[in-house]
Amino acid sequence: MGFAFAYRLILVVAVASVLGVSLANKDWGSPNSNYTGWGWGWGWGSSKANHTGQDFNNHPVNETQGPKKIIVGGSENWHFGFNYSDWAFNNAPFYFNDTLVFKYDPPSNTTFPHSVYLFSDRWSYLNCDLKRAKMVANATQGGGEGFEFVLKRWTPYYFACGERNGFHCKVGGMRFMVMPLFRWHY
């Protein structure tokens, strides 16, 4: 009985936390906000804060954004020696149905091979333990347009390069974690 109550309480707290984080980026009427579209605030009833079709920061008003394609590492792509944890932190938040695109050169005489592994848990990720990870892209799938991975569930995703028995993960910075959020349309 007590366990069931504790489980429900944890579930309520988790859902409330996700909603709180997702709503944190809403426009609450501030002219310094990054998001717009509530129709009240500095315009007092106007759907356009400065009557130009844009808010005070020149962002389009009432524009709903859908899923995005995000190139992992940006212009750096997926390679040894780049800190992908910092990249993920600086490019967050990530949302449901966003697509991560892993681009890397296929193996050759001048480039080392890369791959993409998905870890099943945080502990395996932190220790770069590939025994509990699943290869989602091999060394040749990152060429051309890259390998695409869609964030379909509300769960942490732990990614890393599995080449050299985890050396790229451990020493080369080729690992990162994302937790997709709900995208609220208003």
Domains of the chain and any CATH numbers: 64-185 (2.60.40.420)
Bigger pLDDT: 36 or 186?
Answer: 186
Cα(60)–Cα(25) distance, integer angstroms: 15
Tens of pLDDT, residue by residue over 21-69, are 555 544 444 444 444 444 444 444 444 444 444 444 454 444 457 899 9
Distances (CA, A) of 175 to 26, 107, 119: 30, 19, 10
In angstroms, rounded to a whole number, what is the distance separating the alpha carbons of residues 186 and 25?
12
Half-sphere exposure of 136 toward its Cβ, with a 13 Å CA cutoff?
20
| pLDDT digits 0-9 by tens, 75-112 | 999 999 999 999 999 999 999 999 999 999 888 888 88
Query: 135-153: per-residue pLDDT in tens?
Result: 999 999 999 999 999 999 9
List of long-range contacts for 129-134, beta carbons under 8 Å, 24+ apart: 129/166, 130/162, 130/165, 130/166, 130/169, 133/160, 133/162
Q: Please state the separation of Cα 56 from the chain's center in Å.
A: 28
Report pTM. 0.65
Contact 103, 146 (CB under 8 A): yes
Side by side, the strands of the sheet bearing 147-150 are: 69-71, 99-102, 147-150
What value does the mean pLDDT take over residues 110-124? 92
